[in-house]
Structure 1
Amino acid sequence: MPSGVVVLTDRWAARRPLPEVVTDAVAGGVRWVVLREKDLPRAERAALAADLRAVLAGAGGNLVVAGPDPLGGDAVHLPAAGPYPPPDVALVGRSCHDRAELSRLTTEDYVTLSPVYPTGSKPGHGPPLRPAGLADLIRYSPVPVLALGGVTTPDQVHACVGAGAVGVAVLGAIMRAADPATAATTLTSAFAQADRNQRENP
Protein backbone atom coordinates (compact mmCIF):
# COMPACT_ATOMS: atom_id res chain seq x y z
CA MET A 1 0.00 0.00 0.00
CA PRO A 2 1.50 3.37 -0.97
CA SER A 3 2.56 5.51 1.98
CA GLY A 4 5.23 8.03 2.88
CA VAL A 5 6.38 10.19 -0.02
CA VAL A 6 4.98 9.00 -3.34
CA VAL A 7 6.49 10.56 -6.46
CA LEU A 8 4.44 11.25 -9.60
CA THR A 9 6.48 11.46 -12.79
CA ASP A 10 6.50 14.28 -15.33
CA ARG A 11 9.30 14.03 -17.85
CA TRP A 12 8.53 17.53 -19.18
CA ALA A 13 9.13 19.05 -15.74
CA ALA A 14 12.13 16.86 -14.87
CA ARG A 15 15.56 18.38 -15.31
CA ARG A 16 17.09 15.01 -16.28
CA PRO A 17 15.81 11.70 -17.73
CA LEU A 18 13.19 10.10 -15.51
CA PRO A 19 15.25 7.02 -14.55
CA GLU A 20 17.96 9.34 -13.22
CA VAL A 21 15.50 11.48 -11.26
CA VAL A 22 13.80 8.39 -9.82
CA THR A 23 17.20 6.92 -8.90
CA ASP A 24 17.92 10.10 -6.93
CA ALA A 25 14.47 10.05 -5.32
CA VAL A 26 15.01 6.44 -4.23
CA ALA A 27 18.37 7.43 -2.76
CA GLY A 28 16.44 10.03 -0.78
CA GLY A 29 14.07 7.44 0.68
CA VAL A 30 11.20 7.29 -1.84
CA ARG A 31 9.75 3.79 -2.29
CA TRP A 32 6.63 4.45 -4.36
CA VAL A 33 6.48 6.05 -7.82
CA VAL A 34 3.46 6.63 -10.07
CA LEU A 35 4.31 6.59 -13.78
CA ARG A 36 2.21 9.14 -15.67
CA GLU A 37 3.53 10.07 -19.17
CA LYS A 38 0.20 9.08 -20.74
CA ASP A 39 1.09 10.80 -24.03
CA LEU A 40 3.81 8.25 -24.81
CA PRO A 41 3.11 5.36 -27.19
CA ARG A 42 2.43 2.17 -25.23
CA ALA A 43 5.70 0.49 -26.23
CA GLU A 44 7.78 3.47 -25.07
CA ARG A 45 5.78 3.79 -21.88
CA ALA A 46 6.15 0.07 -21.15
CA ALA A 47 9.91 0.30 -21.67
CA LEU A 48 10.05 3.28 -19.30
CA ALA A 49 7.98 1.35 -16.75
CA ALA A 50 10.47 -1.53 -16.95
CA ASP A 51 13.38 0.87 -16.40
CA LEU A 52 11.73 2.48 -13.38
CA ARG A 53 10.77 -0.89 -11.88
CA ALA A 54 14.42 -1.92 -12.08
CA VAL A 55 15.46 1.24 -10.23
CA LEU A 56 12.83 0.72 -7.53
CA ALA A 57 13.37 -3.02 -7.13
CA GLY A 58 16.87 -2.52 -5.81
CA ALA A 59 15.42 -0.64 -2.83
CA GLY A 60 12.32 -2.77 -2.38
CA GLY A 61 10.21 -0.05 -4.00
CA ASN A 62 7.12 -0.26 -6.19
CA LEU A 63 5.84 1.29 -9.41
CA VAL A 64 2.19 2.20 -9.96
CA VAL A 65 1.03 2.97 -13.51
CA ALA A 66 -1.48 5.76 -14.11
CA GLY A 67 -4.39 4.42 -16.15
CA PRO A 68 -6.04 1.00 -16.43
CA ASP A 69 -3.14 -0.73 -18.24
CA PRO A 70 -0.51 -1.90 -15.71
CA LEU A 71 2.13 -2.23 -18.48
CA GLY A 72 3.25 -5.64 -17.34
CA GLY A 73 2.98 -4.87 -13.64
CA ASP A 74 0.23 -5.34 -11.08
CA ALA A 75 -0.58 -1.82 -9.81
CA VAL A 76 -2.63 0.98 -11.40
CA HIS A 77 -3.86 4.43 -10.45
CA LEU A 78 -7.13 5.47 -12.08
CA PRO A 79 -8.76 8.85 -12.70
CA ALA A 80 -11.99 9.76 -10.93
CA ALA A 81 -13.90 9.41 -14.19
CA GLY A 82 -13.25 5.70 -14.61
CA PRO A 83 -13.11 2.93 -15.47
CA TYR A 84 -15.66 1.39 -13.11
CA PRO A 85 -15.32 -1.31 -11.91
CA PRO A 86 -11.53 -1.14 -11.61
CA PRO A 87 -9.36 -3.67 -13.43
CA ASP A 88 -8.54 -6.87 -11.55
CA VAL A 89 -4.95 -6.23 -10.49
CA ALA A 90 -3.16 -6.49 -7.15
CA LEU A 91 -3.24 -2.79 -6.26
CA VAL A 92 -5.69 -0.12 -7.41
CA GLY A 93 -5.64 3.56 -6.52
CA ARG A 94 -7.94 6.33 -7.72
CA SER A 95 -7.83 10.12 -7.86
CA CYS A 96 -10.66 11.75 -5.91
CA HIS A 97 -11.50 15.34 -5.11
CA ASP A 98 -14.77 15.33 -3.16
CA ARG A 99 -17.33 13.20 -1.32
CA ALA A 100 -19.24 12.32 -4.49
CA GLU A 101 -16.16 10.70 -6.00
CA LEU A 102 -15.29 8.94 -2.76
CA SER A 103 -18.82 7.52 -2.61
CA ARG A 104 -18.29 5.77 -5.98
CA LEU A 105 -15.36 3.68 -4.75
CA THR A 106 -15.76 -0.08 -4.96
CA THR A 107 -12.66 -2.30 -4.70
CA GLU A 108 -9.97 0.40 -4.72
CA ASP A 109 -7.16 0.04 -2.18
CA TYR A 110 -6.31 3.73 -1.71
CA VAL A 111 -7.06 7.20 -3.11
CA THR A 112 -5.33 10.49 -3.66
CA LEU A 113 -7.22 13.58 -2.56
CA SER A 114 -6.37 16.81 -4.33
CA PRO A 115 -5.53 19.60 -4.54
CA VAL A 116 -4.56 20.11 -0.92
CA TYR A 117 -2.59 23.27 -1.74
CA PRO A 118 -2.39 25.44 -4.87
CA THR A 119 -0.32 23.53 -7.38
CA GLY A 120 2.09 24.62 -10.06
CA SER A 121 1.42 21.62 -12.30
CA LYS A 122 -2.32 22.37 -12.47
CA PRO A 123 -2.74 26.10 -11.86
CA GLY A 124 -6.32 27.09 -11.18
CA HIS A 125 -7.25 23.50 -10.32
CA GLY A 126 -9.21 23.50 -7.11
CA PRO A 127 -10.16 25.28 -4.94
CA PRO A 128 -7.52 23.81 -2.63
CA LEU A 129 -8.82 21.62 0.18
CA ARG A 130 -6.28 22.89 2.72
CA PRO A 131 -5.60 20.59 5.70
CA ALA A 132 -9.06 21.13 7.22
CA GLY A 133 -10.84 20.10 4.03
CA LEU A 134 -8.45 17.19 3.62
CA ALA A 135 -9.19 15.98 7.14
CA ASP A 136 -12.94 16.17 6.48
CA LEU A 137 -12.66 14.01 3.35
CA ILE A 138 -10.29 11.55 5.03
CA ARG A 139 -12.90 10.94 7.74
CA TYR A 140 -15.38 10.14 4.95
CA SER A 141 -13.03 7.98 2.85
CA PRO A 142 -13.41 4.19 3.14
CA VAL A 143 -9.76 3.64 2.16
CA PRO A 144 -6.35 5.14 3.05
CA VAL A 145 -5.59 8.56 1.57
CA LEU A 146 -2.54 10.15 -0.01
CA ALA A 147 -2.55 13.96 0.05
CA LEU A 148 -1.77 15.43 -3.38
CA GLY A 149 -1.29 18.90 -4.77
CA GLY A 150 1.22 21.60 -3.96
CA VAL A 151 3.02 19.68 -1.20
CA THR A 152 6.58 21.00 -1.25
CA THR A 153 7.68 21.70 2.33
CA PRO A 154 8.15 19.74 5.57
CA ASP A 155 5.47 21.87 7.26
CA GLN A 156 2.97 20.87 4.58
CA VAL A 157 3.90 17.20 5.00
CA HIS A 158 3.30 17.51 8.75
CA ALA A 159 -0.08 19.18 8.14
CA CYS A 160 -1.20 16.43 5.75
CA VAL A 161 -0.18 13.64 8.11
CA GLY A 162 -1.86 15.50 10.95
CA ALA A 163 -5.04 15.54 8.87
CA GLY A 164 -4.89 11.76 8.62
CA ALA A 165 -3.09 11.10 5.32
CA VAL A 166 -0.94 7.95 5.13
CA GLY A 167 1.39 9.76 2.77
CA VAL A 168 1.89 12.66 0.38
CA ALA A 169 2.05 12.43 -3.40
CA VAL A 170 4.42 14.96 -4.94
CA LEU A 171 5.38 15.92 -8.47
CA GLY A 172 7.05 19.31 -8.79
CA ALA A 173 8.94 19.07 -5.50
CA ILE A 174 11.00 16.21 -6.96
CA MET A 175 10.69 16.58 -10.74
CA ARG A 176 11.71 20.27 -10.76
CA ALA A 177 14.35 19.97 -8.05
CA ALA A 178 17.95 20.79 -8.92
CA ASP A 179 18.91 18.00 -6.49
CA PRO A 180 16.08 15.40 -6.34
CA ALA A 181 17.94 13.25 -3.78
CA THR A 182 18.18 16.09 -1.27
CA ALA A 183 14.59 17.17 -1.94
CA ALA A 184 13.40 13.59 -1.40
CA THR A 185 15.44 13.23 1.78
CA THR A 186 13.92 16.42 3.18
CA LEU A 187 10.36 15.27 2.50
CA THR A 188 10.79 11.63 3.54
CA SER A 189 12.44 12.74 6.79
CA ALA A 190 9.54 15.10 7.42
CA PHE A 191 7.06 12.30 6.80
CA ALA A 192 8.89 9.94 9.16
CA GLN A 193 8.88 12.56 11.91
CA ALA A 194 5.23 13.45 11.32
CA ASP A 195 4.20 9.80 11.28
CA ARG A 196 6.10 9.17 14.51
CA ASN A 197 4.45 12.17 16.14
CA GLN A 198 1.04 10.97 15.01
CA ARG A 199 1.61 7.50 16.48
CA GLU A 200 2.89 8.85 19.78
CA ASN A 201 0.14 11.50 20.05
CA PRO A 202 -2.91 10.10 18.25
Structure 2
Amino acid sequence: MQESGHGDFEFERKFFVHDMPEVAASDPSPTMIVQAYLFAADGYAVRVRVQGPAPTNCDATPTDLVDALGESALGTMAAKGPAVGGTRYEAEREIDPLVAGQIVRRCEQVVAKVRYAVWLGEDGWVIDRFLGGNAPLVIAEVERGAPVVNLAVPEFCATEVSEDDRFRNEYLAFHPYDAWAERYRRELALLGPKFVHTLGRNRIAGS
Protein backbone atom coordinates (compact mmCIF):
# COMPACT_ATOMS: atom_id res chain seq x y z
CA MET A 1 0.00 0.00 0.00
CA GLN A 2 1.27 3.46 -0.82
CA GLU A 3 1.99 5.97 1.88
CA SER A 4 -0.16 9.09 1.64
CA GLY A 5 -1.89 11.67 3.73
CA HIS A 6 -5.00 9.49 3.78
CA GLY A 7 -3.77 7.06 6.44
CA ASP A 8 -4.83 3.43 6.20
CA PHE A 9 -6.66 3.66 2.90
CA GLU A 10 -5.72 2.38 -0.53
CA PHE A 11 -6.85 3.83 -3.84
CA GLU A 12 -6.75 1.37 -6.70
CA ARG A 13 -8.46 0.21 -9.87
CA LYS A 14 -8.31 -3.32 -11.26
CA PHE A 15 -8.70 -4.74 -14.76
CA PHE A 16 -9.20 -8.21 -16.23
CA VAL A 17 -6.55 -9.19 -18.79
CA HIS A 18 -7.03 -12.03 -21.28
CA ASP A 19 -3.36 -12.99 -21.60
CA MET A 20 -0.07 -11.93 -20.07
CA PRO A 21 0.98 -8.68 -21.78
CA GLU A 22 4.46 -8.55 -23.27
CA VAL A 23 5.34 -5.50 -21.16
CA ALA A 24 5.37 -7.70 -18.02
CA ALA A 25 8.64 -9.23 -19.23
CA SER A 26 10.31 -5.84 -18.70
CA ASP A 27 10.28 -6.45 -14.94
CA PRO A 28 13.64 -8.12 -14.23
CA SER A 29 12.66 -9.20 -10.70
CA PRO A 30 9.02 -10.23 -10.32
CA THR A 31 7.64 -10.92 -6.85
CA MET A 32 6.07 -14.11 -5.56
CA ILE A 33 3.13 -13.51 -3.23
CA VAL A 34 1.50 -16.25 -1.16
CA GLN A 35 -1.30 -15.06 1.08
CA ALA A 36 -3.84 -16.68 3.35
CA TYR A 37 -7.24 -15.35 4.37
CA LEU A 38 -8.07 -15.97 8.01
CA PHE A 39 -11.44 -14.24 7.69
CA ALA A 40 -13.51 -12.82 4.83
CA ALA A 41 -17.14 -11.67 4.92
CA ASP A 42 -19.14 -8.76 3.50
CA GLY A 43 -16.04 -6.99 2.19
CA TYR A 44 -14.09 -7.31 5.45
CA ALA A 45 -11.00 -9.52 5.50
CA VAL A 46 -7.91 -10.42 7.50
CA ARG A 47 -4.94 -11.47 5.39
CA VAL A 48 -1.47 -12.82 6.15
CA ARG A 49 1.05 -12.55 3.31
CA VAL A 50 4.54 -13.85 2.59
CA GLN A 51 6.37 -12.38 -0.39
CA GLY A 52 9.80 -12.27 -1.95
CA PRO A 53 11.67 -12.72 -5.24
CA ALA A 54 9.80 -15.15 -7.48
CA PRO A 55 11.50 -18.56 -7.74
CA THR A 56 12.23 -20.17 -11.09
CA ASN A 57 9.60 -22.88 -10.55
CA CYS A 58 6.26 -21.31 -9.67
CA ASP A 59 4.20 -24.45 -10.39
CA ALA A 60 4.26 -25.79 -6.84
CA THR A 61 2.07 -26.08 -3.77
CA PRO A 62 1.64 -23.02 -1.52
CA THR A 63 3.80 -24.73 1.13
CA ASP A 64 6.58 -25.33 -1.39
CA LEU A 65 6.32 -21.73 -2.58
CA VAL A 66 6.66 -20.46 0.99
CA ASP A 67 9.74 -22.67 1.37
CA ALA A 68 11.16 -21.32 -1.89
CA LEU A 69 10.92 -17.73 -0.65
CA GLY A 70 13.34 -18.59 2.13
CA GLU A 71 14.92 -16.14 4.53
CA SER A 72 14.56 -13.17 2.19
CA ALA A 73 10.76 -13.21 2.54
CA LEU A 74 8.72 -10.33 3.89
CA GLY A 75 5.75 -11.10 6.15
CA THR A 76 2.73 -8.82 6.55
CA MET A 77 -0.72 -8.91 8.11
CA ALA A 78 -3.57 -6.72 6.90
CA ALA A 79 -7.11 -5.86 7.94
CA LYS A 80 -9.35 -4.73 5.10
CA GLY A 81 -12.74 -3.08 4.81
CA PRO A 82 -15.25 -2.97 1.93
CA ALA A 83 -14.28 -1.12 -1.25
CA VAL A 84 -16.30 1.92 -2.28
CA GLY A 85 -15.58 3.88 -5.45
CA GLY A 86 -12.02 2.61 -5.82
CA THR A 87 -11.19 3.33 -2.16
CA ARG A 88 -10.69 0.68 0.50
CA TYR A 89 -9.58 0.66 4.11
CA GLU A 90 -6.42 -1.39 4.53
CA ALA A 91 -4.25 -1.39 7.62
CA GLU A 92 -1.14 -3.41 6.82
CA ARG A 93 1.71 -4.09 9.22
CA GLU A 94 4.95 -6.05 8.87
CA ILE A 95 5.23 -9.22 10.94
CA ASP A 96 7.90 -11.89 11.40
CA PRO A 97 8.16 -13.75 8.05
CA LEU A 98 8.63 -17.09 9.80
CA VAL A 99 5.38 -16.59 11.71
CA ALA A 100 3.63 -15.42 8.56
CA GLY A 101 4.88 -18.48 6.69
CA GLN A 102 3.66 -20.86 9.37
CA ILE A 103 0.21 -19.24 9.32
CA VAL A 104 0.01 -19.53 5.53
CA ARG A 105 1.00 -23.20 5.73
CA ARG A 106 -1.88 -23.93 8.09
CA CYS A 107 -4.60 -22.10 6.14
CA GLU A 108 -6.73 -23.66 3.41
CA GLN A 109 -7.84 -20.39 1.79
CA VAL A 110 -4.61 -19.40 0.05
CA VAL A 111 -3.95 -17.29 -3.05
CA ALA A 112 -0.58 -17.47 -4.83
CA LYS A 113 0.51 -15.17 -7.63
CA VAL A 114 3.51 -13.70 -9.38
CA ARG A 115 3.51 -9.90 -9.51
CA TYR A 116 5.21 -7.90 -12.24
CA ALA A 117 5.73 -4.16 -11.78
CA VAL A 118 5.86 -1.84 -14.81
CA TRP A 119 5.68 1.88 -15.43
CA LEU A 120 3.13 2.90 -18.07
CA GLY A 121 2.68 6.57 -18.85
CA GLU A 122 1.97 8.48 -15.65
CA ASP A 123 1.35 5.45 -13.44
CA GLY A 124 3.05 2.46 -11.96
CA TRP A 125 1.09 -0.73 -12.67
CA VAL A 126 1.29 -4.25 -11.30
CA ILE A 127 0.28 -7.28 -13.33
CA ASP A 128 -0.64 -10.33 -11.26
CA ARG A 129 -0.41 -13.81 -12.79
CA PHE A 130 -2.36 -16.12 -10.51
CA LEU A 131 -1.26 -19.67 -9.79
CA GLY A 132 -2.84 -22.95 -8.71
CA GLY A 133 -6.63 -23.01 -8.72
CA ASN A 134 -6.78 -19.39 -9.87
CA ALA A 135 -4.71 -19.93 -13.03
CA PRO A 136 -4.81 -18.65 -15.73
CA LEU A 137 -6.27 -15.44 -14.26
CA VAL A 138 -4.34 -12.23 -14.99
CA ILE A 139 -5.26 -8.95 -13.29
CA ALA A 140 -3.70 -5.53 -13.89
CA GLU A 141 -3.90 -3.00 -11.08
CA VAL A 142 -2.98 0.64 -10.66
CA GLU A 143 -2.70 2.31 -7.26
CA ARG A 144 -2.17 5.91 -6.25
CA GLY A 145 -1.91 7.89 -3.03
CA ALA A 146 -5.29 9.47 -3.85
CA PRO A 147 -8.36 8.41 -5.89
CA VAL A 148 -7.40 7.01 -9.30
CA VAL A 149 -9.07 9.50 -11.62
CA ASN A 150 -8.60 10.41 -15.29
CA LEU A 151 -6.84 7.13 -15.98
CA ALA A 152 -5.02 6.12 -19.15
CA VAL A 153 -6.05 2.46 -19.45
CA PRO A 154 -3.53 0.17 -21.23
CA GLU A 155 -4.82 -1.58 -24.32
CA PHE A 156 -4.28 -5.01 -22.79
CA CYS A 157 -6.99 -4.33 -20.17
CA ALA A 158 -10.12 -6.12 -21.40
CA THR A 159 -12.58 -4.75 -18.83
CA GLU A 160 -12.57 -3.09 -15.42
CA VAL A 161 -13.30 -5.26 -12.39
CA SER A 162 -12.72 -2.67 -9.65
CA GLU A 163 -16.31 -3.09 -8.48
CA ASP A 164 -16.65 -6.81 -9.21
CA ASP A 165 -16.23 -8.62 -5.89
CA ARG A 166 -15.47 -11.90 -7.67
CA PHE A 167 -12.00 -10.60 -8.47
CA ARG A 168 -11.06 -9.68 -4.93
CA ASN A 169 -8.34 -11.92 -3.59
CA GLU A 170 -10.42 -12.97 -0.60
CA TYR A 171 -13.18 -14.18 -2.95
CA LEU A 172 -10.66 -16.06 -5.08
CA ALA A 173 -9.29 -17.73 -1.95
CA PHE A 174 -12.66 -19.36 -1.31
CA HIS A 175 -13.91 -19.60 -4.94
CA PRO A 176 -10.93 -20.32 -7.24
CA TYR A 177 -11.16 -18.83 -10.70
CA ASP A 178 -10.78 -22.10 -12.60
CA ALA A 179 -14.24 -23.18 -11.38
CA TRP A 180 -15.99 -20.24 -13.04
CA ALA A 181 -13.53 -19.00 -15.70
CA GLU A 182 -15.49 -20.22 -18.73
CA ARG A 183 -18.73 -18.83 -17.35
CA TYR A 184 -17.10 -15.44 -16.85
CA ARG A 185 -15.57 -15.37 -20.33
CA ARG A 186 -18.99 -16.10 -21.82
CA GLU A 187 -20.45 -13.32 -19.70
CA LEU A 188 -17.79 -10.88 -20.88
CA ALA A 189 -18.32 -11.84 -24.52
CA LEU A 190 -22.08 -11.29 -24.14
CA LEU A 191 -22.08 -8.05 -22.14
CA GLY A 192 -18.89 -6.48 -23.43
CA PRO A 193 -16.30 -4.46 -21.48
CA LYS A 194 -17.22 -2.11 -18.64
CA PHE A 195 -15.32 0.76 -17.09
CA VAL A 196 -15.97 2.90 -14.02
CA HIS A 197 -17.16 6.33 -15.20
CA THR A 198 -17.44 8.07 -11.83
CA LEU A 199 -13.70 8.66 -11.48
CA GLY A 200 -13.06 11.23 -14.18
CA ARG A 201 -12.31 10.56 -17.84
CA ASN A 202 -11.03 7.16 -18.91
CA ARG A 203 -8.96 6.91 -22.06
CA ILE A 204 -7.17 4.08 -23.76
CA ALA A 205 -3.42 4.64 -23.51
CA GLY A 206 -2.04 5.97 -26.77
CA SER A 207 -5.42 7.26 -28.00
TM-score of the aligned structures, taking structure 1 as reference length: 0.31
Larger Rg: 2
Higher fraction of helix: 1
TM-score of the aligned structures, taking structure 2 as reference length: 0.30
Higher fraction of strand: 2
